[in-house]
Amino acid sequence: MNRKTCFQVGNLALVFAAVGALIWSAPTYSETAGMERRDDRRDDRQGEQDIRQEGRDVAREVKDRCRDAGASGPECRQEKRDVKQKTRESARGSKID
């Protein structure tokens, strides 16, 4: 291979490498107002789910303490329901705010 052909092949390889590097290294994401609102809603839902899960854990503990204290089953279930309902209301309250 002569010098001129070698030079052209080398330049062509550099061009392909540069174009590939530019395409590979520059991912773009279109951020629109709709996407931002959707992300906000997802974050809100996750926060509400976290609040409800914490309420479930607390309700289980309340029911266990009630049973350990010797209360009847219906009384303990009602206490658990009350705790869960308060948790749901607080999760709804965060959604409204």
Quick: pLDDT tens for 19-63: 766 666 555 566 787 888 888 888 888 888 998 899 999 999 999
| Global pTM exceeds 0.85 | no
Quick: pLDDT tens for 52-83: 899 999 999 999 999 999 888 899 999 999 99
Report the C-alpha gap between 30 and 28 in whole angstroms.
7
Domain ranges of the chain: 30-96
> By C-alpha distance, which of 80, 55, 53, 52 is closest to 66?
80
Confidence band, pLDDT 50/70/90 cuts, at residue 1: low
